[in-house]
Amino acid sequence: MRSCNRRDFIAAAGLGAVFAPYVKLITPSQAQTELGPAKYLFIFFTSGTEPAVWSPRGSTISSITHSVMTEPLAPLNGNLVLVEKLDSNGTAGSHGGTGGLTGANFSGKPLISVEQYVSDQLRNAGINTQIPNLLLGGVSSEAQSTFYRNNRALDPIFSPSAAYAAIFGGGGYEFPGDSSEPPAQARLRRRRSMLDALNGEIGQLSQSLGAQERAKLEAHTESLRQMEERLAQQEEQLNNPDPAVACTPPADPGAGSDALMNSVLHMDLAINAFACDLTRVAAVQFGHHQNTQVNLAEVGAPGDWHNVFLHSDNPRTRLVNLERWLSQQFVAAANKLKETPAPDGNGTLFDQTLMVWARDMGDAVIHNGTDMRFVLSGGAGGYLRTGGSYIDGGGKAHSKVLFNVLEAMGISDPSGLGDDSTDREPLAEIRA
């Protein structure tokens, strides 16, 4: 048995996810209640683009004529809805805008992003999966502004190996303990003990810090609070076990250092987590709005996604190539979902999943949030319009699509999401 020091314990136990508090704590089990029509939500998140090139001109509500950027999405045409010309109403118009997945700014009610809201509502309905939601990808060196809970940005897990350990309990460590104690209870007890110790040490450290450093520490403290909520949920689950889902976890993909290739690995991990019914909600972020180094043969010479591809290149050939590559990754995720049986035995994961490609800005070339766009796919339990559809949003609030996400997941109460001053009805054209 490999011994480990305090740092190793924290990492292996998933408490290294003080930076991204989403961990598998006990044996996989099926949730108790169904909402529907879609059961799983997969969010694919990227930076803004150049609308004039992305726009699929000539498309209609019943057919899509793809642009050079969207053409790789064509294999999904039977289950594809493209939406553009939506207005973020000032919430997603520049770097670090909060509105992409929240539909709101820092004002009024606490800021929360749609994946957090969905996972909370599923739990309230009795769907207690082992991991409430997964946030994966991003760029580890950049401040996050995509996912939010209670007005605080949440860090996605950057390392695929760390994500693997958090989801599937990897890491290669064994911990001493009472052999008569059931493994799930032992694991939970050890993690709560370590969490209590961390809380105590952070409390002492906070007293010795200045205001600026204390604010940074508070962000990590919020992650610990979320971990405590997860632990409480696991205790509920231990007391109310459900039948286990038979599944085969993937191999550890390794740590990785390239942000975009890491996100490709994260997509596979997220889909495997769906296959084991460990979670119903996963989001994978590709890159960052400020600094993402792109080094892909399919794109061209290496460079900075935002500062070079969007602002310096003319023509923007590398941006076009990158958008095409992203479209290919979205299709690859769809194909993986199609190949994977649903845990309940009813069709494939694709049949039950709503796929949403969302962005942090609309027109990233001029830093404008008045032309937001979405790509939606998946069987979504029959929720989405089929046959290939293009929707001109006509300047409506982009948050309306976030309300479509809630509706597809069977959530009828949108009151905690978005800005109350905007139209809170879903876009009717998206529904089947």
CB neighbour burial string for 371-399, b if at least 16 within 10 angstroms, e if fewer: bbbbbbbbbbbebbbeebbbbbbeebbbb
Report pLDDT for 291: 87
pLDDT of residue 236: 60
| Domain spans, the chain | 35-169+255-430
C-alpha to C-alpha distances, 360 to 231, 270, 286, 373, 407, nearest whole angstrom: 31, 21, 11, 10, 22
What's the CA gap between 24 and 14, in Å, rounded?
8
Give the dihedral sign, CA 120/370/71/75: positive
Residue 157 has pLDDT above 80, yes or no: yes
> CA-to-CA distance for 285 and 114, rounded, in angstroms?
14
Amino acid (1-letter code) at residue 252:
D
Per-residue pLDDT reduced to its tens digit, 72-103 = 999 999 999 999 999 999 999 888 899 999 99
Tell me if 331 sits within 8 A of 17, measured CB to CB. no
Task: Name residue 45's beta-bridge partners.
Answer: 285, 358
Query: Which of 263-267, 290-294, 352-356, 395-399 has the lowest average pLDDT?
Result: 290-294
pLDDT in tens, 94-135: 888 999 999 999 987 899 999 999 999 999 998 988 889 999
**pLDDT (mean) for 230-241:** 57
The C-alpha atoms of residue 163 and residue 157 are separated, in whole angstroms, by 6
pTM of the model: 0.81
φ and ψ at residue 285, rounded to 5 degrees: -100, 130
Lowest mean pLDDT among 101-110, 245-254, 316-325: 245-254
pLDDT digits (tens, 9 = 90+) for 407-423: 999 999 999 999 998 99
* Residue 283 tokens, joined: 């989001």
Fold of 35-169+255-430: Alkaline Phosphatase, subunit A (3.40.720)
